Amino acid sequence: MANTPLQSGHGHIYGPGKSVKSEGIIPVWLEQNGSRVMGGLIDLSAKIDGTNKVRAFWPKSIRTATPCYEGSTKHTYIPMPTYLVLEAVSAEGTVVKIAKGEGLPLLVDGMSLVKASDTTKKVTVSSANIAIDTDGFYKLTITANAFGTLAAGDVLVLETVAAKKPLGLTKTNLIYDGMSEDELDATKLNVVLCDAGRVIADTAPAASAEMRAALQTVKWEDIY
């Protein structure tokens, strides 16, 4: 078999004594094109945006196919928090509905969000502005026009503190894939990465058009 579809779940579940409620297997990969040759570390205590650690965004697990990029040290990788907008928001709208699920990044107090396609407007997230709907998605309260308008399917990404460019947006080159073994007290994750194949767009973590353009060997396919 030249191409190998993988059994995919929520990615690696880690941490000592963490109780993770599993919602069953969520298939993400349709196939990987035999390019699972890169490996390295994700440092859970690394500060992604200069303030918030990786573990703050993913306290229990990272869903497979989360976009990553290589950090300043070789073979260390930084996963990129991405957030899928569920419903359109007008310029007057003050509530943004954002997907939340097992293995997807949390909204973290103090983080700054920008629209992947328009990085000029940012919103600083405060825990007071975050609510969770009974259906399980985030409702982020913003001031009107803070993002401009948003459409369903837009992707929000983390903004770096220093540069006015969203983190890793132009550096996206790898996709995180599941671990092969559990660790009891993980501060660093051994990760396997893949940069070619097909993923299910609905179940994979959100990837903006910019990220997809940077990863031309990966196809996002609408299945469900």
Partner 1 sequence: MAAFAYTSNFQSLMEMAGLLSNEQFSSFLEDVVFPYQSGPERDTLGFRVLPLKPAFDMTYAALQRNSHIQIMAKHVALDAHAVPEPTQGAEALEGTIPSVATNITIGKEDYLHEAQLLMNAELVGTPLVEAAQDMIASKLDEKFAEHNARASYMRDYVIFHGKYEITTTNNSGSFFNVEFDFKVPAANKIAKTSTAKWWTDDTFATEGSAADPIADIDALVQKLEDRGFDKSNIVIEIGFKTFRALCRHSKVREAIAVFMNPGASQSPSLAATTYGMSDAQLAAQLSARCGVEFIVRRFVTAVPKFDVKTQKFVMNEQTGFVEGTLVARPKGEVGEIHATGHLMVGGPGDSIHSSGLYDGGRILVDYNCNLREKVQIWDTEEIYLYVLTQGKNMAYLTTI
List residues near partner 1 by CB under 8 A: 1, 4-8, 23-24, 26, 34, 36, 84, 86, 97, 99-102, 104, 135-137, 178-181, 200, 202-203, 223-224
Q: Report, in Å, the least distance between residue 187 CB and partner 1.
A: 21
> 31 with 4: CB under 8 angstroms?
yes
Cβ proximity to partner 1, 91 vs 152, nearer residue: 152
User: Which uninterrupted H or E stretch holds 214?
Assistant: helix 209-214
Cβ proximity to partner 1, 128 vs 224, nearer residue: 224
Rg, C-alpha atoms of the chain: 17
Cβ proximity to partner 1, 40 vs 71, nearer residue: 40
Q: Report, in Å, the least distance between residue 83 CB and partner 1.
A: 12
Its sign, for the CA torsion 34, 39, 43, 44, is positive
Q: Report, in Å, the least distance between residue 84 CB and partner 1.
A: 7
Cβ proximity to partner 1, 158 vs 200, nearer residue: 200
Question: In whole angstroms, how far apart are CA 70 and each of 42, 76, 141?
Answer: 10, 6, 32
Cβ proximity to partner 1, 26 vs 107, nearer residue: 26
Closest CA to 106 of 79, 88, 146: 79
Give the CA angle between residues 44, 14, 70 to the nearest 5°. Answer: 35
Q: What does residue 89 show for φ and ψ, rounded to 5 degrees? A: -125, 125
> 4 with 32: CB under 8 angstroms?
yes
Q: Report, in Å, the least distance between residue 104 CB and partner 1.
A: 7
Cβ proximity to partner 1, 1 vs 162, nearer residue: 1
> 184 with 192: CB under 8 angstroms?
no
Q: Report, in Å, the least distance between residue 179 CB and partner 1.
A: 7
Cβ proximity to partner 1, 23 vs 118, nearer residue: 23
Q: Report, in Å, the least distance between residue 155 CB and partner 1.
A: 13
Measured between its terminal Cα atoms, the distance across the chain in Å is 25
The pair of structure tokens assigned to 75 is: 């073979």
Closest CA to 2 of 36, 37, 32, 39: 32
Q: Report, in Å, the least distance between residue 99 CB and partner 1.
A: 6
